[in-house]
Amino acid sequence: MKKKLKHLADKNVLLIGNYLSCSGQNMGTGEELAHNLRLLGWKVLTTSSQSNKLLRLVDMLVTVYFKRNEYSLTLVEVFSGPAFLWAYLSAMAIKLLGKPLILIMHGGNLPNFALKHPRCVARLLNSADVVTSPSSYLSQKMAIFRSSIHMIPNGLDVNRYSFRLRESPRPNLVWLRAFHQIYNPSLAPKVIKILNEQQIEFHLLMVGPDKEDGSLQAVLRTAQELGVADQIEIVRGVPKEQVPEILNRGDIFINTTSIDNTPVSVVEAMASGCCIVTTNVGGIPFLLEDGVDALLVPPDDAEAMAAAVKRLLTEPRLAESLSANARRKAEQFDWSKILPKWEKLFSDVMENVRI
């Protein structure tokens, strides 16, 4: 027992995932967790910041082995796609070393990926001492691969987002995601086209990095064909610290995604007091309640999304109610509430309690 308590007192943890802020990308949830743990006095090692995917994998495995005496437990972020391989190989190496292992599942597409690769996913999840999920949606979907999943939401520094109650929203829309097909950005100009029939001059600000799958070009082409290009402003990504300012430029946040879990951008919009209109896919209905803190519509339905936006401008007190309730819910994600959950989990794992 003394040895276990000593390890816990050392407060040394290794986080494995994509830590690419040094390459110009925004800080992800894992990187923010590492930053906040350090503020609490934890010694946190992270890997990897390599932009090259092969070098990133090599860096992860090298760090796991050669720094094995510098950490007491490990957190590995699990995504779908090629990034799953990094998590799988890292986890197997960690278990060979006999280190405690916590997995953090991410991404709305992980359940679909798991159905295509059930044996690998099940082996990975059941190799861990604890598996965590940021949403009850992901917990439910992945329960067929592991029965016990611990939920800890993604954290957010809510105070960074100045709240403005949208009592009488302006026809200013904001969209904040990556330009990638899974987020269906081409739906946005179609919504603007329909809203134009209401004889109101709408403006749409679309902000996000170009994932170079042709989605950005499709948005530009669709906007031109529909005659709404002059109403859409596109910004190809901004630093994380500018996101609160971007959100404050709009009153209505539209989320057009086809696949999702618990998107940080939506929680950020909630913290800012934006009125949210979003598709009801994946984990969104687990995060938001239709008519209470957002308006939810079917995926890829421009008519339904435009009708929801119109409601915010025409129904008395609807926008004010959604705005206030969204902020209250966002406060549940503040790091002051999330970090104690992580510290308790670390304590339990180091005391060999399987959750």
Residue 268, pLDDT > 60, answer yes
Dihedral over Cα of 151, 154, 159, 163: its sign: negative
pLDDT band at 4 (very low <50, low <70, confident <90, very high): very low
Same domain, residue pair 124 and 270? no
Kindly report, residue by residue over 218-231, the tens digit of the pLDDT.
999 999 999 999 99
Show Cβ contacts of residue 245 under 8 Å, excluding neighbours closer than 6 positions: none
pLDDT band at 20 (very low <50, low <70, confident <90, very high): confident
Same domain, residue pair 186 and 314? yes
Is 7 inside a domain boundary? Answer: yes
Residue 320 to residue 169: CA distance in whole angstroms: 9
The arithmetic mean of pLDDT across residues 194-219, rounded, is: 94
Same domain, residue pair 172 and 283? yes
Q: What is the CATH number of the domain that holds 164?
A: 3.40.50.2000
Is 355 inside a domain boundary? Answer: no
Residue 179 to residue 213: CA distance in whole angstroms: 8
**286 — phi, psi (to 5°)?**
-80, -20
Is 22 inside a domain boundary? Answer: yes
pLDDT of 10 reads: 67
Show Cβ contacts of residue 179 under 8 Å, excluding neighbours closer than 6 positions: 185, 206, 208, 209, 210, 211, 215, 216, 219, 236
Same domain, residue pair 166 and 313? yes
pLDDT of 1 reads: 33
Q: Cβ-count burial of 147 within 10 angstroms (0-12 exposed, 13-18 middle, 19+ buried)?
A: exposed
Kindly report, residue by residue over 279-300, the tens digit of the pLDDT.
999 999 999 999 999 999 999 9
Residue 316, pLDDT > 60, answer yes
Q: What percent of the chain has pLDDT above 90?
A: 86
Mean pLDDT of the chain: 93
Same domain, residue pair 247 and 145? no
Q: Based on C-alpha coordinates, what's the Rg of the chain?
A: 21
Same domain, residue pair 99 and 178? no
The arithmetic mean of pLDDT across residues 204-217, rounded, is: 95
Cα three-residue angle 96-100-103, rounded to 5 degrees: 100
Look at 20-24, 166-170, 272-276, 306-310 and tell me which has the smallest mean pLDDT.
20-24
- Counted domains in the chain: 2
Same domain, residue pair 173 and 254? yes
Q: What percent of the chain has pLDDT above 70?
A: 95
Same domain, residue pair 36 and 112? yes
Name residue 276's beta-bridge partners: 253
- Say if CB 144 and CB 119 are below 8 A apart: no
Kindly report, residue by residue over 22-75, the tens digit of the pLDDT.
766 777 889 999 999 999 999 999 999 998 999 999 999 999 999 999 999 999
Read off the pTM.
0.90
